[in-house]
Each structure stands twice: as C-alpha cells, then as structure tokens.
Copies of this chain bind each other. A is one copy, B any other.
Amino acid sequence: MARYPGLMLRVLASDHPAIGPGKAQLVALIDSTGSISAAAREMGMSYRRAWQLVEALNASFIEPVVMTAVGGKRGGGAVVTEFGRTLVAQFRAMEDKASAAIAADLEHLQRQMRKPPRSTRRK
C-alpha cells in the first residue's frame, strides 16, 4: 500500500491518523472515478469501509475533503473538493520530501534486513 518502498508516513491529528497512504489513494480514486463505491471497488475494499474513511477525513479537517450526493446513474456521486485535491497533493509532497531526506539511511537499513530466523539465546 505504501507508495514508497520501505517507507510509511502518516500525519496525525492529536493521536489518530488524519491522513496516510490509504486515505490518500482513496481520495485520489474518488477523484478519478467520481464515486466512493467505484473507488472502493478498485481498492478491493468494502463500500462501508471506504465511506467510513471519507467520513473520518471530513471530520478531521476544517474544510470538506469529499462532497457527496445520493442518487445513482449520474445523479449522485462523490466530488473531491479543491481542498481535498491539494490535501492529497500536499501529502504526496510530504512523502516525497521525507523519502528524499532519508533515502540514504533507508537504503543502508534495508541492506541490513532479511528473513531467516536465528537463535538469540545468550551463553
């Protein structure tokens, strides 16, 4: 799910996650599809879950991120606000900057990680 290999970044409001890789992708898909349910389908996520994430997003910020309207067949749907669009862009920019800032350390760390189990008993 993380866009950057080996790195996961989340922005917190007080203590709960306000936006992270998942919500960012969801908003982007809502923007491109025009509906929560279509975005949910593309992410292999239940509609309910996606809707809850949208609700959480809207509750976390002072401006709406996604505006919704009931009714189908091009009557209803979901629209990502301009605020929401810049929100995702800002988050992506933060991912970029963070990734660039720690790229060297990350590589170094990744060279030191692997799979096989090992005994760590002393003596």
A residues near B (Cβ < 8 Å) are 1-2, 5-13, 15, 17-18, 58-64, 66-69, 79, 83, 87, 90-91, 93-94, 97-98, 100-102, 105-106, 108-110, 112-115, 117-118, 120-123
Q: Are A68 and B120 in contact (CB under 8 A)?
A: yes
B contact residues around A118 at 8 Å (CB): 58-59, 64
B contact residues around A83 at 8 Å (CB): 112
Q: What is the copy number of this chain in the assembly? A: 2
Given the interface pairs A101-B97, A105-B97, the reply to whether A122 lies near B67 with Cβ below 8 Å is: yes
Q: Are B98 and A102 in contact (CB under 8 A)?
A: yes
A-B contact pairs, 18 of them (CB 8 A): A2-B12, A2-B15, A8-B17, A10-B10, A18-B109, A62-B113, A64-B118, A67-B121, A69-B123, A83-B112, A90-B105, A90-B108, A93-B105, A94-B105, A94-B109, A97-B101, A97-B102, A101-B101
